[in-house]
Amino acid sequence: MSAENWHEERDRLVRLLKAIETGKVTHVDEEDLRELQAATPENIEALKQRLAELNDRLSSNPPL
C-alpha cells in the first residue's frame, strides 16, 4: 500500500466528512483500533481538525 500525500489525504477527508453528513457513512476507523467505531461528535471533530491542518499546510506550500 502506498502512502498518501497531503493532497490525497485532504481529498479523502473531504469525501468522508461529506458522506458522514449525508448519512452514507456511520462508522469510521480510528488510529490503533482494529474495528470501525460509530461516528461521534468527538471523532468527527478530530477529522475536521486534521482537515484544517492539511489545509493550512497546503495553503502555505503552493505547488511548484
* 14-60 pLDDT, tens digit each: 999 999 999 999 999 877 777 889 999 999 999 999 999 999 998 88
CA distances from 43 to 2, 3, 13, 20, 50 (A): 25, 22, 12, 11, 11
Retrieve residue 6's grid coordinates: 497531503
Reference 25, options 16, 35, 12; nearest CA is 16
pTM of the model: 0.80
Instruction: Give the per-residue pLDDT at 64.
Output: 55
**Average pLDDT of the segment spanning 4-9:** 91
Instruction: Give the per-residue pLDDT at 61.
Output: 67
Q: Which residue type, as a one-letter code, is found at position 7?
A: H
C-alpha to C-alpha distance for 45 and 3, rounded to whole angstroms: 23
